[in-house]
Amino acid sequence: MSKSKIRNDKTCLNCRYVVENKFCPNCGQENTDTRKTFYHLFIHFFEDLTHYENAFWRTIKNLLFKPAALTKEYLSGKRLSYLAPVRLYIFISFITFLLITIFPSEINSPDNTAEKESSITTKNKSFQDTLSKNDSIKKNQTDSEEEDHLFNFGYASVEQLDSIQKNAPESEKLSDFSYWIIKKFQLVKEKNTQSEIIEKFVRTFTHNLPKVLFVFMPIFAFFLWLFHNKKRWYYFDHGIFTLHYFSFLLLIFLLLFLINKGLTPISESSFISLIQFLVNFIGIGWMIYYFYPAHHRFYGETRLISFLKSSLLFFINFVLIIIILSIFVIYTFINLH
């Protein structure tokens, strides 16, 4: 940091504590003049920015290519050289889901499919006019069939469902929960077209997914705590490991998302398609494999024990996240408006 003139007054401007040296022993604030020249402000800003950038890129490099290195460094006390785990996760999470919202994936709805099919026939106008009529008929038939089969529980309307539930014999009535959930689905179907349902679902799901992951992380750390020595490792240690691991997963997902978005416009080339496939294969493979070396290096167990624990933990958490996401999918759908 740049040198600043020490104040003659030894009273801290922040907490009014007596300052014998450069920094206040009570609050840590530097006892320097608050009025700075423009040159000093510029140099101070540049130094802070450079320090932040160095810490940021050092953190990203270790996070991507050195499993568990960040966690070990942080817990050993080396914390100023890297971004704090919570700040790192929040930053990556924010950027990831912001870009997904800005650049949403294309939805293969019937309307989009019809647009793509009709654009192919633009070269021949007379042929296009003939096909457009046929496509219109086929599209209407397809939309009707697909909408009929989307979450079809055998009820044409909410009124029919209510009537059956009210007047049918007890043996044919639905349970309270089944009746409630099916009615919710039926209301969503009646108020929205299929394309609207897909669009709203993707938007709502993407918006709330960070909350689901944030809720799941303490559960992930809890299972790490169950599987390891309670005297050697605190829950806090597992929490830091979890934050770094989930930051890594989101960062790889973000990189793959950006690469695919960049290559999609030119993916008609077989060479580009091959590159896209290889990048996705390597990225997803690294996401799956990463947990094993990270677990082994952080907890310091033998390779066999670490592999067995890692595999069991991976399976347990995979099942849990599928269950949680399934519940979240249902919750998202029944709350569409």
How far apart CA 29 and CA 16 sit, in angstroms, is 11
Give the integer Cα–Cα distance in Å for 49 and 62.
20
Residue 148 has pLDDT above 70, yes or no: no
17: amino acid identity, one letter: Y
- Do residues 10 and 17 lie in contact, with contact meaning Cβ atoms separated by under 8 Å? no
Q: Is the pLDDT of residue 34 over 80?
A: no
**What's the mean pLDDT in 152-156?**
67
Phi-psi region of 234 (alpha: psi -120 to 50; beta: other; left: phi over 0): beta
pLDDT higher than threshold 60 for residue 122 = no
Query: Does residue 264 contact residue 91 with C-beta atoms inside 8 Å?
Result: no
- Closest C-alpha to 244, from 54, 81, 91, 52: 91
Q: 151: pLDDT confidence band, cut at 50, 70 and 90?
A: low
* 35 — pLDDT class (breaks 50, 70, 90): low
- Can you give the pLDDT at residue 129? 55
Q: Enter the tokens of residue 300.
A: 């310091």
pLDDT over 90 (residue 208): no
- pTM score: 0.68
In the chain the beta strands, taken as DSSP E runs, fall at: none
| Contact by Cβ (8 Å): 146, 110 | yes
- Compare 308 and 55 and report the one with higher pLDDT: 308
Interval 252-307: pLDDT, tens: 999 999 998 888 888 788 888 899 899 999 999 999 999 999 999 999 999 999 99
Least confident of 60-64, 79-83, 137-141: 137-141
Residue 208 to residue 197: CA distance in whole angstroms: 16
Q: Is the pLDDT of residue 115 over 80?
A: no
**Are residues 313 and 223 in contact, defined by beta-carbon separation less than 8 angstroms?**
yes
Residue 162 confidence (pLDDT): 81
| pLDDT value of position 62 | 94
Please state the rounded mean pLDDT for residues 179-187.
77
Residue 109 scores a pLDDT above 50: no
> Residue 205 and residue 200: Cα distance in Å, rounded?
8
Name the average pLDDT for the chain.
78
- What average pLDDT does the segment 76-93 reach? 88
For residue 116, name the pLDDT band (cuts at 50, 70, 90): very low
